[in-house]
A = this chain, B = another copy of it.
Amino acid sequence: MSQKLDVAVLGATGTVGQRFIQLLAAHPWFRVAEVAASDRSAGKRYAEATRWVLPGEPPTEIANLTVLPLDAAFKSPIVMSALPGDVAKTLEPTLAAAGHLVSSNTSANRMQTDVPLLLPEINADHVRLVDAQRRKGWAGALVTMSNCTIVGTVVALAPLREFGIERISLVSMQAISGSGYPGVASFDILDNVLPYIGGEEEKVETEPQKILGALTQDKIVHLETRISAACNRVPVMDGHTVCVSVGFKHKPTLAQIREAWENYQGHDLARELPSLPKPVITYSEGADRPQPRRDRDAGGGMTTTIGRLRECSLLDYKFVTLSHNTVRGAAGGAILNAELLVAQGYASHVMDTLEGAQTR
C-alpha cells in the first residue's frame, strides 16, 4: 500500500485514544488525520486538550491537530473509536451507516448480532458479518474489539477448540491502565488488591462464547461453554495476568496442548496483516512465567504469553496467560481489526462513497 488511509480517532484524549495515536504513529497503512473528543476538548490543539499519560510526549504532527467535536463530519474512511459506552452506542452505528469503517474498542455494540467481535488471529472470518450490515444499507461497517481481560484466555483456547471446551474457570489480576485516566486512585491500590471490577465479570463470562463461536451464514453460533470469572485489580501498570482452568469434552494430553500452541499460526485471513501478533502465542518454559512486567511487551505488546500448563484436580488443565491490556487488548486490537477490514476489501466501497475521503 503506497498511500496511507486517513484515520479519525474518536475519544482521542483518553488513555486508549492516546494508545491509538502512539501505535498509529508509524503504521504502514494508516495515518491519523482527525482527532475528536468531547465538547470540553473540541476546538483546542490536541496537545493542549490532552493530559498525555503515556511515556514521552505526543507525536508533533498530532500535537498540532485541532480536536474536532464528536458530531463533526469526519472525512477519514477509517474511524477508531475509544468512545464512552453511551456515546458509542448510537454514534458508532451512525458513522458506519454513513460510510465509515468503524473499528471500536468500546463494549457498547459488541454483542449486537450483526456486529463482529473480532480477534483476527482466531476468528478473522467473523468479519463476514459486515455483509449483513451492508445488506441492511450501511455504506460502511462496524467491527468491535473484545474486553481486554479475555484476550489472553481466548487466544490460548482457540487452538484447543477441537477438543471441545466445556468449562472455563478464570481469575484475573488486572493492570491499573485498564481503568483509564485518572482511573484507579493510588489511595485504593498501593499495597493493595481490589477484588472487584465493575461489570467486568459479566463481560468475561459472555464474550468468549461469541468470539470462539462459528460463523454460519449470517450469524455467529456461540460456543456452548460455561465460564466462571473472578476479576481483580492489582498494582501493575500494564498487562492482565489470568489463571485459567479448563475442562474439555475430549481431554487432550499435555503434549497435544503444547503442540497446538506451538503450531498455531492464527487464522488464514489474518496472516498478512501488519499488526498480527508475531508469534500469536509464546509458551514460556520459566517456572514463574508469564509475568506482566517481563512478558507484556512480547511481539510489540500483541503476543499472548502462556505458562505453567499443568493438570487441574477439578477441571482438566490449568495454566497462566498474559496479554497487554492496552495494546493487544485495546488500541492494538482495534487497529488489527481495521487492517482486516481493509485487507478484506471493505474499504474500496468506502473510498468511493465518502465525500472527501482520500489516500495520501
List residues of chain A with CB under 8 Å of any chain B CB: 15, 53-57, 167, 169, 171, 173, 176-177, 181-196, 198, 205, 226-228, 230, 232, 234-237, 241, 243, 245, 284, 287-295, 297-298, 307-308, 312-315, 318, 320
The CB with the most chain B CB atoms within 10 A, among A176, A243, A288, is that of A243
> Does B176 contact A320, Cβ atoms closer than 8 Å?
no
Candidates B171, B177, B196, B295; contact of A287 at CB < 8 Å: B196
**7 chain-A/chain-B pairs, Cβ below 8 angstroms:** A173-B193, A176-B190, A183-B187, A191-B292, A194-B288, A195-B243, A228-B313
Candidates B56, B177, B186, B196; contact of A176 at CB < 8 Å: B186
Contacts A191-B292, A195-B320, A196-B287 given; indicate if A232 touches B243 (C-beta within 8 A): yes
> Does B173 contact A234, Cβ atoms closer than 8 Å?
yes
> Does B297 contact A195, Cβ atoms closer than 8 Å?
no
Residues of B within 8 A of A54 (CB): 294
> Does B192 contact A292, Cβ atoms closer than 8 Å?
yes
The 9 A-B residue pairs with the shortest CB-CB distance, nearest first, are: A182-B185, A171-B171, A196-B288, A192-B293, A230-B243, A228-B314, A186-B186, A195-B320, A176-B186
Residues of B within 8 A of A227 (CB): 313-314
